[in-house]
Structure 1
Amino acid sequence: MWNNVRQLNFASSTLHALFVLALLGAAGVYAIQRPEFRLREIQIDGDTQHVSTPVVRASVVGHLKGNFFTVDLDAARATFEQIPWVRHASVRRVWPNALAVTLEEYKPLGTWGNDQLVSTDDELFTANQGELDDDLPAFDGPEGTAKEVVARYHDFEKWFAPLDAKPEEVTLSPRFAWTVKLSNGTQIELGRERNQDTLLGRSKRFVASWPAVTGRWGKDIEYVDLRYPNGFAIRAANMRFINDTDKAKK
């Protein structure tokens, strides 16, 4: 080899290239560790109705690791998505020392249980209910039933619209029985679904009888039990009236 000029030149060129690469690598490591590349700014954009810039910054301080070059954007995104109200976050680098974050908030449809909210996309999330701008309907049900409860809420909106009332509370019990409280103060027990038409049929029967019921007993109907096969029971003010030919509940 030592007598082969071509091999010596090749070896020399290879060593020179490796030296240059090592030098460039060292320079690169030195450069990216320079203080001017430390993350100094977080630019917040997007849907921020319930999330303020100071809250976002305070929530992520100490959780973002690395600088402009080394920060893990997926880990940063996950950190932002842990903030209450934040459904999704997209994160990108902004030269030379900033991150730009675009936030998407949950859109609340109603409250769920004692400490959660349910979104318009049927997703449960945790946030401070005191930050709500409007009074929202209250939902509750067994674990994993949020989508079903929201779907029934929209059904009840349509079914009870002729009463000029909207559902304010929709509850699915642990035994999967439905209860609805309307904006006119009436609480309605619909019971369990025996088939796909059970709840609709019971609701239609009550709505059709509403003019006669209110004509006789007034509109202050506190409670209605629709679980009877051929009628229903009501409580108006301080009385109780049964409109039923078969009192054996389903």
Structure 2
Amino acid sequence: MWQDIRILNALTNVLIGILLLVLLMSGIWWVIQRPTFTLKTIRIEGVAKNNLRHVNALTIRDAALPKIKGNFFTTNLDVVRSAFETVPWVRRASVQREWPNKLIVVLEEHEVLGTWGEEGRLISAKGDVFTANLAEAEEDSDLIEFIGPDGSEKEVLARYLDFKKWFATINLAPESVQYSNRYAWSLKLNNGMKVELGRVQDEFSLKKRVDQLLTVYPQLLISLRDSIDSVDMRYPNGLALKSSHSSVGLKSKLK
């Protein structure tokens, strides 16, 4: 082999190629480690340049910045994104590089709608359950109370929006919606009245029970002088109600 000029030339070319590649990689590594590319600025923005209401420098410094490693070239953008998504109130983050030593982070905040369950968690207008400061959430608006099995958040939110639309016809709105482990619906309206709707097979059946209540509610309001404590709509052809003017429950048939 050592007397074959062609093999020796080929072997020499391979070794020279490997050497040049090593030198090239070393040069690239030397360049990207220069102080010029050390991250000096991380710019935080809201989606569509909107101001961030709840995310502040303190929470970012405590929750996200310690997890950011590397420089302009070596930092892992997925790790940075995940770090910012652990910050309270952050729903989603996107990250991009800006030459030569900046990161641009765009944050989407949760838009809180209410509380979820009995553990102090919050639910957003998009049905995401998250944990944040309850006092801060209460500054935004009156919170709706939602209760339901884990995994039912989207369904409970969808039914809340239905209830809100349906009861608006009698100038009422839900302030609490509960979906039990037995798949039964109940809600409390902003006049203090509790409504038991029970288990239903589908949205159509649920709306039918609500419509039955909406039909008789004006008459009940007149006869009971706005003193209805609760209404039970779980009867096939009637309802039962409790009034603060009566010590016993009243039952009525629906025509």
- TM-score w.r.t. length of structure 2: 0.84
**Residue 240 of structure 2 corresponds to residue 242 of structure 1:** no
The match for 1:38 is 38
Separation in 1, partners of 2:3, 2:66: 58
* Pairs within 5 Å for 1:58-207: 58-114=62-118, 115-132=120-137, 133-194=140-201, 196-207=203-214
Instruction: Tell whether the 8 Å contact from 1:138 to 1:168 is kept in structure 2 after alignment.
Output: yes
Residue 20 of structure 1 and its aligned partner are, at CA, apart by: 4.1
Distance 1:178 1:12, change over 3 A: closer
Instruction: Tell whether the 8 Å contact from 1:142 to 1:173 is kept in structure 2 after alignment.
Output: yes
Separation in 2, partners of 1:179, 1:165: 15
Residue 70 of structure 1 and its aligned partner are, at CA, apart by: 0.8
More deviation, 107-116/216-225: 107-116
Q: Deviations over 1:62-88 (max 9, x none)?
A: 211211111111121111112222122
Q: Deviations over 1:38-64 (max 9, x none)?
A: 223211012422212342233222211
In structure 2, the gaps of 5 or more residues are: none
SS of the residue 2:45 aligns to: strand
RMSD: 2.5
Separation in 1, partners of 2:188, 2:102: 50
Distance 1:175 1:12, change over 3 A: closer
- TM-score w.r.t. length of structure 1: 0.86
Separation in 2, partners of 1:86, 1:102: 10
Residue 212 of structure 1 and its aligned partner are, at CA, apart by: 1.4
Distance 1:3 1:116, change over 3 A: closer
Separation in 1, partners of 2:209, 2:12: 91
Residue 190 of structure 1 and its aligned partner are, at CA, apart by: 0.9
More deviation, 8-17/45-54: 8-17
Aligned residue pair count: 245
Separation in 1, partners of 2:17, 2:151: 61
The residue identity in structure 1 corresponding to 2:251 is N
Instruction: Tell whether the 8 Å contact from 1:42 to 1:57 is kept in structure 2 after alignment.
Output: no
Residue 10 of structure 1 and its aligned partner are, at CA, apart by: 7.1
Residue 199 of structure 1 and its aligned partner are, at CA, apart by: 2.3
Instruction: Tell whether the 8 Å contact from 2:239 to 2:253 is kept in structure 1 after alignment.
Output: no
SS of the residue 1:244 aligns to: strand
The percentage of counterpart residues that share the same residue type is 42
Instruction: Tell whether the 8 Å contact from 2:46 to 2:106 is kept in structure 1 after alignment.
Output: yes
Instruction: Tell whether the 8 Å contact from 2:64 to 2:86 is kept in structure 1 after alignment.
Output: no
Instruction: Tell whether the 8 Å contact from 1:224 to 1:235 is kept in structure 2 after alignment.
Output: yes
The residue identity in structure 1 corresponding to 2:29 is V
Q: Deviations over 1:133-175 (max 9, x none)?
A: 1112111101111111111111111221222110000001111
Residue 117 of structure 1 and its aligned partner are, at CA, apart by: 2.1
Instruction: Tell whether the 8 Å contact from 2:115 to 2:146 is kept in structure 1 after alignment.
Output: yes
Separation in 2, partners of 1:79, 1:31: 27
